[in-house]
Structure 1
């Protein structure tokens, strides 16, 4: 059974582990070094300990298997991680739907995210959920201390009112 919930402060360790495993899989096409892994481990631990209030968790059978965050609670999805052992099982779709609904409730008209361009699985996942590539660039990533080809993706979030029949509903 898939459930969605807000993170709690004591979730940080399991969330950091999920993030690191998913990050490791996503970074394979880019290549990584021991220093990059250490930096990622530290970044996930710090963020999940300090930014837990911005995190939404997807669970399978009561166990966290993925999470997403919007660090500034705005239109930018800053983190989206599904444990590799639970990918392609509907967890990401359920989590993304919950994040987008939360954004709609907060009055956001669009959702944005960025990922590295070689993360083909993520790009395909978000495209299949209505996201379009807005730009491609080479961006310095301070967490990894290197330049990465990055894509920005965007999706217009339709409000409930936009789903009616004609201008008078």
Structure 2
């Protein structure tokens, strides 16, 4: 667990860090096969994180440790869906992702949402394990088209009653 962790709403000044951390966390994941990661795909994903960070109007929160942005999460799309949890690779495994998930679960409870949903790549065992520790369970596994990567990915969807 990290001491000094603060979770707060994203400010304009955070947008570059959001894009960078999202891309670094994605790039460090062992979930993707080498065939997915040609230079064109990598640059496309980097660009998508930059665009998301600059243009999003969804609910994005920042995780900071001692004033340094180390992760972020988002709820884009349906109100019961946590669309993004990204933690800088240098800070992974310290409970930051769990704190971001718990933040969104609290928001959903206050909005009287009864079930929370989240998804990830099926080979992202660290994220799946973290979500399961938060009380989520896998309800679906299958292929899903990634518009960003232009490939089919093995994905899992998880749910939790709240």
Query: Structures share a fold, TM > 0.5?
Result: yes
- After superposition, the CA RMSD in angstroms is 1.4
Unaligned runs of 5+ in 2: none
Structure 1, 118-127 or 105-114: larger mean CA deviation: 105-114
Local SS of the residue matching 2:98 = helix
What secondary structure, in the 3-state scheme, does the structure 2 residue paired with 1:23 have?
Answer: helix
Q: 2 CA distance for matches of 1:101 and 1:117?
A: 26
**TM-score, normalising length: structure 2:** 0.91
How many positions carry a matched residue from both structures? 157
Using the TM superposition, give the Cα deviation of residue 45 of structure 1 relative to its aligned residue in structure 2, in angstroms: 0.8
- Give the Cα separation in 2 of the matches to 1:20 and 1:125: 20
Q: How big is the shift at 1:119?
A: 0.7
Q: In structure 2, the residue corresponding to 1:130 is in which secondary structure?
A: coil
TM-score scaled by structure 1?
0.88
Equivalent residue number for residue 27 of structure 2? 24
Distance in 2, matches of 1:37 and 1:27, equals: 14
Query: Gapped runs of 5+ residues in structure 1?
Result: 158-169
Structure number with bigger Rg: 1
Distance 1:26 1:12, change over 3 A: same
Give the 5 Å matches for 1:29-48. Answer: 29-31=32-34, 32-48=37-53
Which residue of 91, 100, 106 maps to 1:101? Answer: 106
Provide, for residues 116-162 of structure 1, a one-character-per-residue CA deviation record: whole Å limited to 9, x for no partner. 101111111111111100101111111110011110011111xxxxx
Q: Describe the SS at the equivalent of 1:151.
A: strand
2:54 aligns with: 49
Cα gap change, 1:95 to 1:147, in 2 (>3 Å)? same
